[in-house]
Amino acid sequence: MKNRTILWIFLAFVVGFALPVCSCVGTGFLTVGALSRMAGDPTAATLGTGDAVAVLYLSGTISSDVTAYTTEGITPERVSDLLERAADPTIKAVVVRVNSPGGSVVASDEIYHRLLEFDKPVVIWMSEMAASGGYYISCGGDYVFAHPDTLTGSIGVISQFINAEELMKKIGVDAVVITSGPRKDIGSPFREMTEEEQALWREIIDEVYDNFVEVVAQARDLPVEEVRELADGSIYTGRQALELGLVDQVGTLDDAVAKAAELGGIEGKPRVIELKPTPTFSELMLGFQSRSVVPTLEEILNWAGVPALEFRFLAP
């Protein structure tokens, strides 16, 4: 009788707890496996018949890497992955749908070169916004469309530094910084930047800005000085950008697809394939981790204490 009672308790445990847990774990691994295969599976670009135009979706801030599970955000790695999937021989041209306020200077330049070097016609279509770094990467296209109400332009470079010196005094926190030289802690949030330090950083900003202007002038076949007059950080609508020579045409995504088909030598209506970033295995696993959306004090201080150059439009 005692043994039978133990057996019933064991069976109740299996049915009531172990099976649901195993089911959840199994489902999780199946999901991970499926999404992992989707991330690297090019078969989506081979469905159907006939020549095609691929539409690549680039949305979010531009950065060198993504540290959380999300399909938002534009990185060189994600762009390379999409371009590899667009290498399918039935795809004759691509439309890159850009919706970005910009971001990292280095990542923007990497993406610009990858689009520029792609061996098929590349048509850019600017969605809600293609500003600053978003415009920079758009210069890698062979032909640039903008929606009439797109926000674009914002050609320039920005760096932001937090000065928390007075706040630190108020809360009674004193920072001790030991450096190997007087310029080692330029941009430190624990003190105000000197005029000399600001001048040094200005030289860096100007150098990167000059490169941005050169890229735009070359892409748009405009005189450098004319681009400089436009490149004061001003934001433009798609209509204004057309008048200024910053885009080739205003229109819809369908218009951009039709132009890509023309450049790719496709006769008649093309087959359209949408290619969107898919989370990698590691990004998916990060998504399962519980994490507060509020940054920690350590993260805030790390961000504030690291000088950065950005092609970014700061929306109000």
Amino acid identity, position 233? G
DSSP 8-state assignment for residue 163:
-
Cα–Cα distances (Å) from 240 to 156, 214, 237, 254, in that order, read 18, 21, 5, 21
| 23 contacts: CB under 8 Å, gap ≥ 6 | none
Point out the catalytic residue in the list 184, 234, 269, 282.
184
Cβ atoms of 245 and 155 within 8 Å: the answer is no
Cβ atoms of 126 and 150 within 8 Å: the answer is yes
Alpha carbon of residue 218 to chain centroid: 23
As a whole number of angstroms, the distance between CA 245 and CA 220 comes to: 7
Query: Is 170 an active-site residue?
Result: no
Query: Is 269 an active-site residue?
Result: no
List phi, psi (to 5°) of 307: -60, 145
Tokens standing for residue 203? 């030289």
Cβ atoms of 164 and 189 within 8 Å: the answer is yes
As a whole number of angstroms, the distance between CA 181 and CA 197 comes to: 13
As a whole number of angstroms, the distance between CA 104 and CA 262 comes to: 33
Q: Classify 146 as helix, strand or coil.
A: strand
Point out the catalytic residue in the list 132, 138, 154, 188.
132
The set of catalytic residues is 132, 184
